Amino acid sequence: MNLAILGAGQLGQMLALAGVPLGIKACFLDPQPDAPGSRVGAQLIADYADRAALDRLSTQCQLATFDFENVPVDAAAYLAGRIPLHPSPQALAQSQDRLREKTLFRSLGIPTAPFQAVDSLAELVAAAGQIGLPAILKTRRFGYDGKGQVWLRESADCAAAWHQLGGQDLILEGVVAFRRELSLIAARRPSGETAFYPLAENVHRGGVLDMSRPALPHPALQAQAEAYGRRLLDQLDYVGVLALELFDCAAGLLANEFAPRVHNSGHWTIEGAVTSQFENHLRAILDWPLGETGLTGPCAMRNCLGVMPDTGRVLAIPGTHVHDYGKSPRPGRKLGHITVTAPDDAHLIQRLEALEGLLIAS
- What are the pLDDT digits (tens) for 41-90? 999 999 999 999 999 999 999 999 999 999 999 999 999 999 999 999 99
> Taking the domains of the chain in order of start, what are their residue ranges?
2-85, 114-174, 180-361
Q: Per-residue pLDDT for 167 more than 90?
A: no
CATH architecture designation of domain 114-174 = 2-Layer Sandwich (3.30)
- Which of 17-21, 153-157, 290-294 is the least confident region? 153-157
**What is the rounded average pLDDT of the residues 325-337?**
95
Number of Cβ within a 10 Å radius of residue 105: 22
Split at pLDDT 50, 70, 90, the class of 146 is low
Q: CB under 8 Å to 163, separation ≥6 — which residues?
A: none
- Which of 42-51, 138-147, 233-242, 337-346 is the least confident region? 138-147
- CA dist 190 and 192 (Å) reads 5
Buried b (16+ CB within 10 A) or exposed e, 267-280: bbbbbbbebbbbbb
Q: What is the pLDDT of residue 318?
A: 98
DSSP-derived pairing of the beta strands 208-214 and 299-305: antiparallel
Q: What's 2-85's CATH class?
A: alpha beta
Across the chain, mean pLDDT equals 96
Split at pLDDT 50, 70, 90, the class of 353 is very high
Q: What is the pLDDT of residue 166?
A: 83
Q: What angle is formed at CA 143 by the lines to CA 87 and CA 273, rounded to 5 degrees? A: 50
**What is the rounded average pLDDT of the residues 343-354?**
98
Q: Per-residue pLDDT for 361 more than 90?
A: no
Q: What is the pLDDT of residue 355?
A: 98
Q: What is the pLDDT of residue 144?
A: 65
**What is the rounded average pLDDT of the residues 297-306?**
97
In CATH terms, the fold of domain 180-361 is: D-amino Acid Aminotransferase; Chain A, domain 1 (3.30.470)
Split at pLDDT 50, 70, 90, the class of 207 is confident
Q: Could you give phi then psi for residue 51, rounded to 5 degrees?
A: -70, -30
Split at pLDDT 50, 70, 90, the class of 145 is low
**pTM, 2 dp:** 0.96
Q: What is the pLDDT of residue 362?
A: 79
**What is the rounded average pLDDT of the residues 305-331?**
97
**What is the rounded average pLDDT of the residues 210-223?**
96
Q: What is the pLDDT of residue 75?
A: 98
**Three-state SS at 259:** strand
Q: What is the pLDDT of residue 142?
A: 80
